Every structure is written in C-alpha cells, then in structure tokens.
C-alpha cells in the first residue's frame, strides 16, 4: 500500500526568492522592449515595404493598393492595364473594336494606339513607337512610356527599390536639400516606423509643410514620409502649376443668331448688343452624307468682323437639323473613323475662320447612341483645347422622350465640355398634346436642380438658356387642341393679344397668363415678358451658374439686354 506524501511547508524566504525571480524576468522583458523601442526611434532599422510587387507612386501618393492589374514590365518597357490607366489618367479610355485600337484622351491630347504596329497617332499625327498595346490574361495593357506626352507625365523607374514614380509635369514641384542625415518617418507620431534614410546633401521633393514643424517629403528612392522642416534647406520651385486661362472670365452672355441653312448671315453692321459677350450664328450643319457644311460666305465673314470688333466671341452653331438626320447622326456616332473625320473638319474650319469656339447643337438622336455621342464630345474636346477654343454643348431638360431628352448623358457632357447649355424651354412644345407654358419657373428650377444634384455637374459649367418667345394655343369647346401652337416672338406678344384681355399672374410659374375666346375656340398664352425672364435669370446668381443664353436674336424687346446685363454683373 502506497503512502501519500504530506505537503511540505514552504518558508517565507523561499516565497520571497520566487517573487524576486519573477520580477527579474519581468523587468528583463521590459528592458528588451525598451531597447527595441529606442533602437526603433534611433533608426537602427527600416521597416521595408512589400517589394514583391512594384510600388506605384503618382504625384507624391503611393497608390499601389488601388492597382487593378499588375505593373507589367517586358524588355524594360513598362505597361499599365487599361483599368489602371482609366483609374489614374483617363476615365474615358476606350477600346474601339472596329479599328482594333485603344483611344485615350487627356487635356489637349487624343491618342490612338493599336495592338500590332509600333505606332501612335496623337492629335491626327502619326509617330513611330517602341511598343504597342498588348493583351495578357484577358487584360489590355498599354506602354506607359509611349503615352507620357499624352498624359503630360514624367516616369522614373527606381529598379533597386522596385518603385515606379509618375509625376504630372503640369503640377507644381518644390525641391529642397537636406542639411543633415535624417530618418524619414511614416507619420509625425512619437513612435513611427522609418520608411527611408536621407543623407546630408541629398535632394528631396517637398510635398507639404505643416505648422507643427514637420514636412512631408518624397525621397530619391520614391519613399514618402515626414521629417522636421528645419532639416530642409535651399528650397526651389522646380516646376509651377500650369493653369489654363478661361476665354471668358466673367459670366457668359450668349445669344443665338439663327438663320436657315439656305439663308445668309444677318447684317449687324453698326449695331451693338449691350452686355452680350458671345454670339452663336448658324454657320454649320451636317448634310445627308455626314459631312460638315458651312454657310458663311462674304456675309458671314462680315458678321465675324462685326462680332470681334464689338469684343464678342464667336461660337457658331453646329446643327444636325433636318429630316432624316437622326439616321445620319447615328451613323457618324457609331463609327470612330467617321467621328474622327467630322472632328478634323471642325478643327480645320475653326482655324480657317479664326473662330473662338463651337456650339454643338445635336438634337433628335437615338437613345441607344447616348454613350457614343458622349464619345464624340470626349474625342472632340482635346482638339478644341489644343487651339484654345471653347466647346459648349446644348442639351434639353433631363426628363422627356427617348429622342428629345434621354439621348444625352448630361453628367459626362458636363464633365468634359467647357459648358453645358440647358435649353430651358419647350416644357410644352410643338409636339405637345395639350396647352401649357413654354418655360414655367418651377419646371426650370426643378430641372436645374437635377443638373446640379442628380447629374452632379459643376454649377459654373452650366449656362441657363431662356426663350425670347412663347406659344399661342387654340382649343375647341372640349378642351382639345385644334392645331399646332403658333410661335409668338416676345416683341409681338402685345400686338397678338386683343385689347381688353386681362393678364393674370401665376406665382408658381412666375408668368402672366391670358385666355380669350375666338369664335367657338379658346386661345391660351403663357407670356414671356420682362418679369418672367427676371425670375428665371435670378437662378443664375442663386445657383452660381456659368452664364446665360437666349433663343433667339430678333425675337426680343430691347429692354431684355439691359436686364440680362444687370443680372450677370
């Protein structure tokens, strides 16, 4: 039978010895941690980034984590994926399957590059290259070096650190010399990892300086971090911001000067339209073959001379008006080469006549061509910018029919073009099946809010276009329209309304309304006058819009130019 050992008594001295051993181990661990922290702070080592993949730094920001594809390097040629180029440089980059080319735009450049030949076309000029677009694992890659002139960038590949640095040459760059050996920290915190070391005399890029005595810098190794501002010396601005000057610094005051494609330009000699700084004559249209047709001649040249002598910019209209033009327009939009041909014609004509811009007035288009019409504007814009010309694009209210309203992508147009002109009229138009106002204030403001909030268009890019006309409606005793409404110019409204007819103010529409009998029929008119126009153009200052347009010259009363000028000052 085994005997159980009785527990032994532990002396107080042995307990104290155990406590001391535990405390000794604890303090030893603390000491090691403190030594590690001191070494960390003293920059005894650098926590390295992941060098298994190439780190991408664009304009002093490490964007490696946002890469959708890999940075592909073949024969020392660096390729970025279509998705990444779209993310970082051109959100509208486009693969044209018909020509088997990639189309990319940026600022004043449009380029096309194929998948077989080593060549690139930039703004209509061909150039030999050392590489072309490739497909790899169902992903399209483009040679970055061949696109640097398109994107206005400098490319530096730091092979030792596996870092690719891209700088926009249009952005400010400040350089400085470091006046002593220093560690570059990941943050301004007391305990922060070291991302790089810089030796005395080395050059760094100064990204920003803060009031707490720190500067955010980029080292020659492409590392981004913080050092004390006092460690910087000999700061110089190596490159300044390149900002484009606006053609018109103040708000736009445009009037359309329309005449038919078979008529000649009006003679404005000796006249002045007070306050107007842009005129848009009906110089251009598209014919049935999809070609640009000009209607200028000697009268048009005289018009140009008159406008420029009166300090007015000339942005002629380019229309696709006419029967059967929906099909013609669709044919142009659906083929890159035809869009390109039309763009070349526009550019050459602008140069020929020394124009200041173009007003694109394409209407009655197919809803399914909406994105391709946007492509046309995307591809036209760089060529216009190259020449310092303005591109304004007319669009209708956001809600309506497929061919009148839903054929525009207002967000893209507003993003790309210099101005998007909201034709705020024909709320009830020629094709309406019931009588109504041409441009009620509540409808104009509601539509405008959709431009700003739903379509997210910058307010200073929106030009509000108002009508200088109204319509006279005729209804039978059953309230049915008996004919199409008659267009009545603003200057002819009072002579159209019979004497003694009482005008009634509609405060929601901000318009006067009249109704009177003519035989068995009822006549109705929502009047456009000085008061209705004042209400609508007040929205320009209220929402800080880019300006005003009016349709059309010759329909107005003289007083409108005074109220337009005052509203825009």
Q: What CATH class has 55-156?
A: alpha beta
CB count in 10 Å sphere of residue 104: 23
Containing H/E element for 74? strand 72-74
Classify domain 172-239 by CATH architecture. Answer: Roll (2.30)
Residue 262: predicted pLDDT: 87
User: In this structure, is the dihedral angle defined by the CA atoms of residues 474, 476, 480 and 484, taken in order, positive or negative?
Assistant: negative
- Separation in Å, CA 252 to CA 201, 395, 456, 459, 464: 52, 17, 21, 13, 10
Residue 453: predicted pLDDT: 98
Residue 32: predicted pLDDT: 53
Total-model pTM: 0.91
Phi, psi of 54 (to 5 degrees): -70, 130
Q: What is the pLDDT of residues 335-359, one digit of tens each?
A: 999 999 999 999 999 999 999 999 9
- Separation in Å, CA 554 to CA 165, 268, 275, 278, 558: 58, 11, 16, 16, 10
Q: Where are the domains of the chain?
A: 55-156, 172-239, 252-568
39: alpha, beta or left? (left if phi > 0; alpha if psi -120 to 50): alpha
Low-confidence ranges of the chain (pLDDT < 70): 1-13, 15-19, 23-28, 31-52
Residue 10: predicted pLDDT: 57
What is the β-pairing status of strands 357-361 and 317-319? parallel
In a 13 Å sphere around the CA of 511, the CA atoms on its Cβ side amount to 21
Residue 3: predicted pLDDT: 47
Sequence-distant (≥ 6) Cβ neighbours of residue 248 within 8 angstroms: 277, 278, 313, 390, 547
User: In this structure, is the dihedral angle defined by the CA atoms of residues 439, 248, 105 and 333, taken in order, positive or negative?
Assistant: positive
Residue 516: predicted pLDDT: 98
Phi, psi of 225 (to 5 degrees): -170, -165
Residue 35: predicted pLDDT: 47
Residue 26: predicted pLDDT: 67
Q: Give me the CATH code for the 252-568 domain, please.
A: 3.20.20.80
Contact 98, 109 (CB under 8 A): no
């Amino acid at each position: 039978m085994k005997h159980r050992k009785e527990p032994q008594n532990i002396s107080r001295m042995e307990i104290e010895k155990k406590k001391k051993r535990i405390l000794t181990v604890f303090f030893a661990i603390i000491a090691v941690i403190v030594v590690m922290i001191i070494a960390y702070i003293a920059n005894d080592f650098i926590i390295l980034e992941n060098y298994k993949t190439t780190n991408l730094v664009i304009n002093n920001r490490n964007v490696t984590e946002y890469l959708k594809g890999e940075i592909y390097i073949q024969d020392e040629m660096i390729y970025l994926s279509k998705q990444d180029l779209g993310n970082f440089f051109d959100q509208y980059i486009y693969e044209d399957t018909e020509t088997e080319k990639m189309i990319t735009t940026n600022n004043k450049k449009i380029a096309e590059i194929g998948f077989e030949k080593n060549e690139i076309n930039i703004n209509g000029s061909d150039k030999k290259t050392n590489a072309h677009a490739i497909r790899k694992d169902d992903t399209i890659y483009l040679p970055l070096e061949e696109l640097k002139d398109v994107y206005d960038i400098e490319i530096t590949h730091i092979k030792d650190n596996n870092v690719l640095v891209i700088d926009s040459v249009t952005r400010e760059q400040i350089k400085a010399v470091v006046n002593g050996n220093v560690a570059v920290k990941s943050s301004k915190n007391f305990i922060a990892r070291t991302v790089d070391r810089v030796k005395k005399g080395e050059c760094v890029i100064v990204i920003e300086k803060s009031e707490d005595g720190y500067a955010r810098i980029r080292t020659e190794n492409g590392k981004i971090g913080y050092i004390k501002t006092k460690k910087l010396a000999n700061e110089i601005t190596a490159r300044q911001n390149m900002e484009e000057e606006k053609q018109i610094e103040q708000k736009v005051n445009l009037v359309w000067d329309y005449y038919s494609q078979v008529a000649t330009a009006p003679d404005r000699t000796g006249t002045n339209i007070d306050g107007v700084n842009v005129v848009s004559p009906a110089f251009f249209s598209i014919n049935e073959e999809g070609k640009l047709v000009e209607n200028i001649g000697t009268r048009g040249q005289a018009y140009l001379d008159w406008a420029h002598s009166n300090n007015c910019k000339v942005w002629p209209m380019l229309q696709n008006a006419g029967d059967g033009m929906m099909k013609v327009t669709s044919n142009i939009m659906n083929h890159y080469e035809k869009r390109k041909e039309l763009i070349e014609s526009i550019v050459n004509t602008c140069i020929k006549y020394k124009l200041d811009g173009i007003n694109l007035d394409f209407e009655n288009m197919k809803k399914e061509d909406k994105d391709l019409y946007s492509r046309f504007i995307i591809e036209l814009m760089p060529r216009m910018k190259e020449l310092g010309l303005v591109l304004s694009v007319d669009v209708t209210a956001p809600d309506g029919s497929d061919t009148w309203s839903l054929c525009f992508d207002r967000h893209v147009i507003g993003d790309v073009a210099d101005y998007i002109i909201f034709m705020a009229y024909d709320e009830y138009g020629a094709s309406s099946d019931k009588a109504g106002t041409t441009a009620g204030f509540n409808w104009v403001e509601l539509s405008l809010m959709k431009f700003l909030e739903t379509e997210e268009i910058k307010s200073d890019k929106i030009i509000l276009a108002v009508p200088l006309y109204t319509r006279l409606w005729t209804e039978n005793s059953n309230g049915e329209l008996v004919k199409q409404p008659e267009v009545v110019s603003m200057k002819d409204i009072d002579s159209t309304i019979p004497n003694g007819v009482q005008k009634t103010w509609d405060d929601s529409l901000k318009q006067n309304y009249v109704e009177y009998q003519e035989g068995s029929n009822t006549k109705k008119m929502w009047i456009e006058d000085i008061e209705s126009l004042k209400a609508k153009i007040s929205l320009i200052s209220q929402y800080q819009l880019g300006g005003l347009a009016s349709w059309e010259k010759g329909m107005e009363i003289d007083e409108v130019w005074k109220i337009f000028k005052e509203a825009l000052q």
